[in-house]
Structure 1
């Protein structure tokens, strides 16, 4: 199953939102962004 760009963007927004709420701080929000970027790289490597 391939994710469309829109779906990946939605997944990213949800992941960032959830992690930012969980983190509760700007420092950890940047970690959330790093985590999401790494997830996108994994998706790309898997061919999604």
Structure 2
């Protein structure tokens, strides 16, 4: 059960953070992109 809950919570958390983070901040976008790629890798591991 936790296999599916944890990635969903992580994705919700990251999307909430990017919503509050202005996209015009260039130093922030690099961080968020690397976070999203690591989340993608985690999701692949769960499948």
The residue that corresponds to 1:30 in the other structure is: 30
Counterparts of 1:8-47 in structure 2 under 5 Å? 15=15, 19=18, 22-24=21-23, 25-47=25-47
Could you say what the CA RMSD is over the residues aligned between the two structures, in angstroms? 2.4
TM-score, normalization: structure 1? 0.52
Moved over 6 A (4+): none
Kindly indicate whether the alpha-carbon contact (under 8 Å) linking 1:19 and 1:32 is maintained by their aligned counterparts in 2.
yes
Structure 1: gaps spanning 5 or more residues: 1-10
Structure 2: gaps spanning 5 or more residues: 1-10
TM-score, normalization: structure 2? 0.52
